[in-house]
Amino acid sequence: QPRWIGEDYFTSQHKVCVLMINPGDVGPKAKYSQIKSSNEFESLIEGFKDDLVSWEDLMLFILMDMHNWGQGSKYMKLYFDHLKLPLKEIAFLNTMLCSAKKLDPRGQYKNYYSQQTMRNCFDLHTHSMLKQLNPDVCILSGTAVWEFARRNDLRSLFPNCEFKELGHYAARGNDWNKAVEKAKDISLELQTSFKIQNEIYIT
């Protein structure tokens, strides 16, 4: 499942990529709406694979759906309101490119990702994609991604990239508050070092 790549990412003076865990659900929170949106997205992905759908169409779907991600639009709030990433110049990438779920003790399907499954997908797909994105800064979003980066020594694999750690957009309570404060700190660091312009931020 693809993530957002801004139209000006590859020509931006400083490329910033957010590395996350795995794909979440698309569409509004209502179950029927999620199924409908998921089917539409899968159809677009299949169409893109068969050269029937453009990359721009895929990105438009993601752009229009972002506000549905995370309770209370937390995805938008963390990465754009607080981190203040410039929409057209940034990229997002999942460590696991496929959604993985397993039954929890209550019989409900929940997201599942072990360090080994993350490593398998990274070796098969994500490593080469991250090399192509070639970011100057990679923001590791979520403790599972921090741990993955440490265990697999991503800093050695990408010696010219600066890595920063940030919480996950689905964090709750005090963990969410910490993620927001860290996002603000990183935003100031990026604005100072890269002089990112405010006029293209999402508001």
pLDDT (tens digit, 9 = 90+) per residue, 77-115? 999 999 999 999 999 999 987 666 677 778 777 767 788
Taking CA atoms, 52 is separated from 41, 47, 48, 63, in Å, by 14, 5, 6, 20
- Check: CB of residue 102 under 8 Å from CB of residue 110: yes
* Cα–Cα dist 174/166, whole Å: 14
pLDDT at 128 over 90: yes
DSSP H helices in 19-126: 31-49, 55-65, 74-76, 115-121
The residue with greater pLDDT, 203 or 80, is: 80
Mean pLDDT of the chain: 85
- Neighbouring CB atoms inside 10 A of 117's CB total 15
Predicted pLDDT of residue 182 = 96
Predicted pLDDT of residue 47 = 87
Residue range 145-181, pLDDT digits in tens: 999 999 999 999 999 999 999 999 989 999 999 999 9
How confident is residue 121, by pLDDT bands cut at 50, 70 and 90?
A: confident
The residue with greater pLDDT, 149 or 64, is: 149
Predicted pLDDT of residue 135 = 97
How confident is residue 64, by pLDDT bands cut at 50, 70 and 90?
A: confident
Predicted pLDDT of residue 161 = 96
Q: Give the three-state DSSP class for 181.
A: helix
Predicted pLDDT of residue 200 = 47
The residue with greater pLDDT, 146 or 118, is: 146
Report the half-sphere exposure of 62 (CA within 13 A, side-chain side).
Answer: 20
Q: What are phi and psi of 11, to 5 degrees?
A: -105, 0
How confident is residue 203, by pLDDT bands cut at 50, 70 and 90?
A: very low
* Cα–Cα dist 123/134, whole Å: 16
In this structure, what DSSP letter does residue 64 have? H
